[in-house]
């Protein structure tokens, strides 16, 4: 009798636990549905089967989940992306045969006289700017709101890649002009890499004019078979993080329940943050690695005679940046092609911007290897703006353009913007171009 009573109590307890778990699940699912609806403005179960927003953010941040090393050494540009390293079937977006993320193969040939070709040059921010145009057409829509472009078919060609800095933009421009690429207008969006990455070059005693040490040294190290154990370990760690991230993204995209989607979205964001931290760690190791190994194999990268003092180093960076922009302007002007140079905003250059709580969490890192280069280098670049204007360059300082919005605009601890920041930047670029065109009439 006693055993029967205990058995009944145990059964009742099991039922009670099961009912409570079911209620908890229903409540959590309902909360997840509500959050999804507020964020996406659609019901989870009847949502359009498009690419997840977090996945698009990963793509645009340059994290290629299917590859551990996506760059390849290039005889003229230093490095480019591996052809076919990433393909978006829905957008028909891929790395073309020249190593640039684009909708088009180069040289692109006009198919009608109404097409207006804009070349975008620079590093990852320029790449993201062009890719944003492919996805959202922010730049072209803004330009078409002005009479000068109202009836034009705007074609944007991406000539930017992560880590590019002058004189890479100048070399790329010359190369594609030599191949016969037609341009109606060129945009150079830079500044951050020229000081942040060139500063890392200087500290590693690599010539400042060479491609970014954090990009070129691992490639030459692999080619020369002389990567340090620490660097190799970091590459393995980054590769592992990518594998974990890809697994989580695959699970996210197959979620049938809103609760699953909410949990996996959180996990993906945590893994993205973990991946970015691993990249920062890797960047520090590149900075501190022995540059003697750079020239001990078959790939030669010029080494500096010594690490320059900061004042001399940043003066040299700014002078090279100045000369490269003047040269781009002269080459394009001789062909009657408009040239517009924009200095990108960055969170490590102090302005009047008040960062949101989210930005303080995800976009500001006291351990960033880029802080010194930006804080010491940006003022030197900005001091050259007047000289560039006197030289006939249409140059614009965009360092303050994000100051007036209270929304989050930065999406990582490097230099990249979210959709709000992209919108502000596209508006600024378009309005600045039209202003100059109208003044020149």
Instruction: Kindly report, residue by residue over 331-378, the tens digit of the pLDDT.
Output: 999 999 999 999 999 999 999 999 999 999 889 988 899 999 999 999
pLDDT, position 291: 46
CA atoms within 13 A on the CB side of 385: 16
How far apart are the C-alpha atoms of 232 and 397, rounded to whole Å? 39
pLDDT, position 87: 65
181: left (phi over 0), alpha (psi -120 to 50) or beta: beta
Contact 342, 435 (CB under 8 A): no
Of 120, 83, 204, 143, which Cα lies nearest the Cα of 432?
143
Peptide bond between residue 113 and the one before it cis (omega within 30 degrees of 0): no
pLDDT, position 367: 86
pLDDT lower than 70: segments of the chain: 1-22, 24-69, 86-89, 223-232, 234-236, 239, 257-259, 282-297
**How much is the pTM?**
0.76
pLDDT, position 214: 86
pLDDT, position 31: 63
Angle at which helix 258-288 crosses helix 53-60, to 10 degrees, equals 10
């Amino acid at each position: 009798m006693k055993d029967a009573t205990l058995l009944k109590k145990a059964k009742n307890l099991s039922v009670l636990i099961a009912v409570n778990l079911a209620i908890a699940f229903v409540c959590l699912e309902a909360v997840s549905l509500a959050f999804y609806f507020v964020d996406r403005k659609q019901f989870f179960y009847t949502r359009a089967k498009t690419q997840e927003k977090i996945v698009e953010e990963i793509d645009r941040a340059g994290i290629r989940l299917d590859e551990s090393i996506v760059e390849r050494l290039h005889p003229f540009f230093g490095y480019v992306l591996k052809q076919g390293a990433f393909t978006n079937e829905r957008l028909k977006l891929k790395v073309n045969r020249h190593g640039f993320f684009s909708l088009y193969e180069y040289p692109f040939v006009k198919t009608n006289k109404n097409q207006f070709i804009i070349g975008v040059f620079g590093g990852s921010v320029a790449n993201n700017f062009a890719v944003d145009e492919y996805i959202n057409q922010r730049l072209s829509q803004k330009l078409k709101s002005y009479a000068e472009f109202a009836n034009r078919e705007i074609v944007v060609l991406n000539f930017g890649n992560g880590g590019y800095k002058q004189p890479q933009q100048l070399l790329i421009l010359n190369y594609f002009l030599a191949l016969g690429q037609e341009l109606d207008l060129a945009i150079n969006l830079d500044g951050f890499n020229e000081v942040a990455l060139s500063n890392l070059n200087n500290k590693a005693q690599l010539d400042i004019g060479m491609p970014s040490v954090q990009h070129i040294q691992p490639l030459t190290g692999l080619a020369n078979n002389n990567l340090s154990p620490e660097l190799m370990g970091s590459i393995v760690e980054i590769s592992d993080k990518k594998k974990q991230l890809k697994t989580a993204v695959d699970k996210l995209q197959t979620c049938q329940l809103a609760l699953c989607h909410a949990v996996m979205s959180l996990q993906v964001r945590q893994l993205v943050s973990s991946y970015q931290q691993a990249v920062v760690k890797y960047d520090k190791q590149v900075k501190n690695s022995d540059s003697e190994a750079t020239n001990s194999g078959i790939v030669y990268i010029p080494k500096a005679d010594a690490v320059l003092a900061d004042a001399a180093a940043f003066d040299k960076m700014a002078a090279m940046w100045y000369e490269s922009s003047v040269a781009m302007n002269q080459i394009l002007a001789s062909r009657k092609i408009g040239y517009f140079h924009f200095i990108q905003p960055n969170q490590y250059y102090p302005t009047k911007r008040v960062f949101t709580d989210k930005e303080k969490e995800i976009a500001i890192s006291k351990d960033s290897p880029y802080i010194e280069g930006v804080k010491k280098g940006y003022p030197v670049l900005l001091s050259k703006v007047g000289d560039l204007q006197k030289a006939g360059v249409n140059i614009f300082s965009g360092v303050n353009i994000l100051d007036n919005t209270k929304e989050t605009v930065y999406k990582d601890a490097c230099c990249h913007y979210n959709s709000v920041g992209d919108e502000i930047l596209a508006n600024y670029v378009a309005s600045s171009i039209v202003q100059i065109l109208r003044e020149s009439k």
